[in-house]
Protein backbone atom coordinates (compact mmCIF):
# COMPACT_ATOMS: atom_id res chain seq x y z
CA UNK A 1 0.00 0.00 0.00
CA UNK A 2 1.35 3.40 -1.00
CA UNK A 3 -0.12 6.51 0.61
CA UNK A 4 0.28 9.83 -1.19
CA UNK A 5 -0.08 13.09 0.69
CA UNK A 6 1.22 16.64 0.77
CA UNK A 7 2.00 15.99 4.47
CA UNK A 8 3.06 12.39 5.11
CA UNK A 9 3.51 13.10 8.83
CA UNK A 10 -0.22 12.42 9.16
CA UNK A 11 0.47 8.72 8.57
CA UNK A 12 1.00 7.95 12.23
CA UNK A 13 0.61 4.17 12.13
CA UNK A 14 3.71 2.45 10.80
CA UNK A 15 3.26 -0.79 8.88
CA UNK A 16 5.83 -2.91 7.05
CA UNK A 17 3.69 -2.97 3.90
CA UNK A 18 2.83 0.73 3.86
CA UNK A 19 4.98 3.23 1.96
CA UNK A 20 4.35 7.00 2.14
CA UNK A 21 4.93 9.13 -0.95
CA UNK A 22 5.01 12.92 -0.47
CA UNK A 23 3.27 14.64 -3.36
CA UNK A 24 1.42 17.95 -3.58
CA UNK A 25 -1.50 17.56 -5.97
CA UNK A 26 -1.78 21.32 -6.36
CA UNK A 27 1.58 21.21 -8.16
CA UNK A 28 0.67 19.50 -11.42
CA UNK A 29 4.23 19.39 -12.76
CA UNK A 30 5.24 17.09 -9.88
CA UNK A 31 2.79 14.32 -10.74
CA UNK A 32 4.17 12.61 -13.85
CA UNK A 33 7.85 12.46 -12.71
CA UNK A 34 6.93 11.13 -9.27
CA UNK A 35 4.60 8.50 -10.71
CA UNK A 36 7.33 7.37 -13.10
CA UNK A 37 9.66 6.78 -10.15
CA UNK A 38 6.84 5.11 -8.23
CA UNK A 39 6.21 2.60 -11.00
CA UNK A 40 9.90 1.71 -11.11
CA UNK A 41 10.06 1.07 -7.36
CA UNK A 42 6.67 -0.69 -7.19
CA UNK A 43 6.15 -2.53 -10.52
CA UNK A 44 3.41 -4.67 -8.95
CA UNK A 45 1.09 -1.67 -8.53
CA UNK A 46 -2.36 -2.74 -9.77
CA UNK A 47 -4.87 -0.39 -8.22
CA UNK A 48 -5.41 3.25 -7.29
CA UNK A 49 -7.88 4.95 -4.96
CA UNK A 50 -8.33 8.62 -5.85
CA UNK A 51 -9.35 10.48 -2.71
CA UNK A 52 -7.46 13.78 -2.90
CA UNK A 53 -9.59 16.88 -2.56
CA UNK A 54 -10.88 19.62 -0.30
CA UNK A 55 -14.04 21.65 0.14
CA UNK A 56 -14.58 25.37 -0.13
CA UNK A 57 -18.05 26.87 -0.20
CA UNK A 58 -19.57 30.27 -0.79
CA UNK A 59 -21.26 32.35 -3.46
CA UNK A 60 -19.32 32.44 -6.71
CA UNK A 61 -18.34 36.11 -6.35
CA UNK A 62 -16.80 35.33 -2.94
CA UNK A 63 -14.13 33.21 -4.64
CA UNK A 64 -10.94 34.77 -5.93
CA UNK A 65 -9.71 33.55 -9.31
CA UNK A 66 -6.79 31.79 -7.64
CA UNK A 67 -9.14 29.99 -5.21
CA UNK A 68 -11.23 28.73 -8.14
CA UNK A 69 -8.10 27.52 -9.91
CA UNK A 70 -6.74 25.75 -6.83
CA UNK A 71 -9.98 23.91 -6.06
CA UNK A 72 -10.41 22.70 -9.63
CA UNK A 73 -6.73 21.73 -9.80
CA UNK A 74 -6.77 19.56 -6.67
CA UNK A 75 -10.27 18.09 -7.00
CA UNK A 76 -10.22 17.42 -10.74
CA UNK A 77 -7.16 18.21 -12.85
CA UNK A 78 -4.68 16.42 -10.58
CA UNK A 79 -6.88 13.30 -10.68
CA UNK A 80 -6.82 13.40 -14.48
CA UNK A 81 -3.03 13.89 -14.53
CA UNK A 82 -2.53 11.02 -12.11
CA UNK A 83 -4.76 8.74 -14.19
CA UNK A 84 -2.91 9.69 -17.37
CA UNK A 85 0.43 8.85 -15.75
CA UNK A 86 -0.70 5.46 -14.41
CA UNK A 87 -3.05 4.17 -17.09
CA UNK A 88 -0.54 2.75 -19.62
CA UNK A 89 1.10 0.57 -16.95
CA UNK A 90 -2.19 -0.56 -15.45
CA UNK A 91 -3.46 -1.65 -18.86
CA UNK A 92 -0.59 -4.14 -19.01
CA UNK A 93 -1.69 -5.86 -15.79
CA UNK A 94 -3.91 -8.93 -15.74
CA UNK A 95 -6.44 -7.06 -13.60
CA UNK A 96 -6.35 -3.49 -12.28
CA UNK A 97 -8.66 -1.04 -10.55
CA UNK A 98 -9.19 2.71 -10.58
CA UNK A 99 -11.55 3.76 -7.78
CA UNK A 100 -12.50 7.43 -7.51
CA UNK A 101 -14.02 9.05 -4.43
CA UNK A 102 -16.55 11.54 -5.73
CA UNK A 103 -19.33 13.18 -3.75
CA UNK A 104 -23.07 13.59 -3.48
CA UNK A 105 -22.23 17.04 -4.90
CA UNK A 106 -21.73 15.28 -8.26
CA UNK A 107 -25.44 14.43 -8.35
CA UNK A 108 -27.13 17.77 -7.61
CA UNK A 109 -25.88 21.33 -7.76
CA UNK A 110 -26.27 23.34 -4.57
CA UNK A 111 -26.27 26.98 -3.54
CA UNK A 112 -22.82 28.12 -2.35
CA UNK A 113 -21.38 24.95 -3.87
CA UNK A 114 -20.90 26.09 -7.47
CA UNK A 115 -17.16 25.42 -7.75
CA UNK A 116 -17.10 22.31 -5.56
CA UNK A 117 -20.07 20.82 -7.41
CA UNK A 118 -18.47 21.68 -10.74
CA UNK A 119 -15.30 19.79 -9.79
CA UNK A 120 -17.28 16.72 -8.69
CA UNK A 121 -19.69 16.76 -11.65
CA UNK A 122 -16.66 16.92 -13.94
CA UNK A 123 -14.92 14.06 -12.12
CA UNK A 124 -18.05 11.96 -12.55
CA UNK A 125 -18.15 12.74 -16.27
CA UNK A 126 -14.45 11.91 -16.54
CA UNK A 127 -14.92 8.48 -14.96
CA UNK A 128 -17.87 7.71 -17.23
CA UNK A 129 -15.88 8.59 -20.34
CA UNK A 130 -12.80 6.74 -19.10
CA UNK A 131 -14.89 3.63 -18.40
CA UNK A 132 -15.96 3.60 -22.04
CA UNK A 133 -12.37 4.09 -23.21
CA UNK A 134 -11.17 1.18 -21.05
CA UNK A 135 -14.08 -1.08 -21.96
CA UNK A 136 -11.89 -3.59 -23.82
CA UNK A 137 -8.99 -3.49 -21.36
CA UNK A 138 -8.33 -5.16 -18.00
CA UNK A 139 -8.83 -1.87 -16.13
CA UNK A 140 -12.02 -1.51 -14.08
CA UNK A 141 -13.21 1.99 -13.20
CA UNK A 142 -15.56 2.68 -10.28
CA UNK A 143 -16.88 5.84 -8.65
CA UNK A 144 -18.09 6.18 -5.05
CA UNK A 145 -20.27 9.20 -4.27
CA UNK A 146 -20.56 9.60 -0.49
CA UNK A 147 -22.66 12.07 1.40
CA UNK A 148 -21.18 13.74 4.49
CA UNK A 149 -18.41 11.64 6.01
CA UNK A 150 -17.12 12.04 9.55
CA UNK A 151 -13.56 13.20 8.75
CA UNK A 152 -11.38 16.34 9.19
CA UNK A 153 -12.88 17.57 5.87
CA UNK A 154 -15.18 19.86 7.90
CA UNK A 155 -12.54 21.33 10.23
CA UNK A 156 -12.12 24.57 8.25
CA UNK A 157 -15.73 24.81 7.03
CA UNK A 158 -18.64 26.69 8.58
CA UNK A 159 -20.80 23.58 8.83
CA UNK A 160 -20.54 19.91 9.77
CA UNK A 161 -22.78 16.85 9.99
CA UNK A 162 -25.02 16.39 13.02
CA UNK A 163 -23.71 14.58 16.09
CA UNK A 164 -25.99 11.54 15.97
CA UNK A 165 -24.58 8.32 14.45
CA UNK A 166 -27.05 8.39 11.54
CA UNK A 167 -26.10 11.93 10.51
CA UNK A 168 -22.81 11.04 8.81
CA UNK A 169 -21.01 8.19 7.12
CA UNK A 170 -17.97 6.72 8.86
CA UNK A 171 -14.65 6.48 7.02
CA UNK A 172 -14.85 2.71 7.62
CA UNK A 173 -18.01 2.64 5.50
CA UNK A 174 -16.01 4.01 2.57
CA UNK A 175 -13.21 1.51 3.21
CA UNK A 176 -15.69 -1.38 3.24
CA UNK A 177 -17.20 -0.18 -0.04
CA UNK A 178 -13.73 -0.04 -1.62
CA UNK A 179 -13.01 -3.56 -0.36
CA UNK A 180 -16.28 -4.76 -1.87
CA UNK A 181 -15.31 -3.32 -5.26
CA UNK A 182 -11.79 -4.76 -5.14
CA UNK A 183 -13.07 -8.23 -4.22
CA UNK A 184 -15.96 -8.32 -6.67
CA UNK A 185 -16.16 -10.70 -9.62
CA UNK A 186 -13.46 -9.62 -12.12
CA UNK A 187 -15.95 -10.17 -14.95
CA UNK A 188 -18.22 -7.36 -13.78
CA UNK A 189 -17.75 -3.61 -13.44
CA UNK A 190 -19.25 -1.70 -10.54
CA UNK A 191 -19.83 1.62 -12.25
CA UNK A 192 -21.04 3.85 -9.43
CA UNK A 193 -22.13 3.58 -5.79
CA UNK A 194 -23.92 6.34 -3.87
CA UNK A 195 -23.68 6.30 -0.07
CA UNK A 196 -25.66 8.51 2.29
CA UNK A 197 -26.27 8.73 6.03
CA UNK A 198 -29.69 7.46 7.10
CA UNK A 199 -30.68 10.92 8.37
CA UNK A 200 -29.00 13.95 6.81
CA UNK A 201 -28.48 16.73 9.35
CA UNK A 202 -26.25 19.79 8.84
CA UNK A 203 -25.02 21.82 11.81
CA UNK A 204 -23.70 25.33 11.31
CA UNK A 205 -20.83 26.28 13.61
CA UNK A 206 -21.07 29.32 15.85
pLDDT tens figures, 152-196 = 888 888 878 888 888 999 999 999 999 999 999 988 999 999 999
pLDDT at 157: 80
Distance CA 105, CA 110 (A): 7
What is the predicted pLDDT for the residue at 133?
95
The pLDDT value recorded for residue 60 is 96
Domains of the chain, CATH where assigned: 44-204 (3.40.50.720)
Here the contacts of 151-155 (C-beta below 8 Å, separation 24 or greater) are 153/54, 153/55, 154/55
pLDDT of residue 84: 97
pLDDT for 20 equals 85
Q: With a cut of 70, which residues of the chain have pLDDT below it?
A: none
User: Cβ neighbours of residue 18 under 8 Å, at least 6 residues apart?
Assistant: 1, 2, 3, 11
* DSSP β-ladder status, 159-161 and 202-204: antiparallel
Number of helices followed by number of strands (H, E) in the chain: 5, 8
State how beta strands 47-50 and 192-195 pair: unpaired
pLDDT at 98: 97
Say if residues 133 and 139 touch (Cβ distance below 8 Å).
Answer: no
Amino acid sequence: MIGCSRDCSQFIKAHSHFHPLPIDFSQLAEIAPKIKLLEKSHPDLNGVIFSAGFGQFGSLEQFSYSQIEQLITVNLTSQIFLTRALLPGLKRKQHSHLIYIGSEAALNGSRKGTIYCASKFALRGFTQGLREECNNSTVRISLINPGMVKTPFFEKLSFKPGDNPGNAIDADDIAETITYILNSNPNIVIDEINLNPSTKVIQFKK
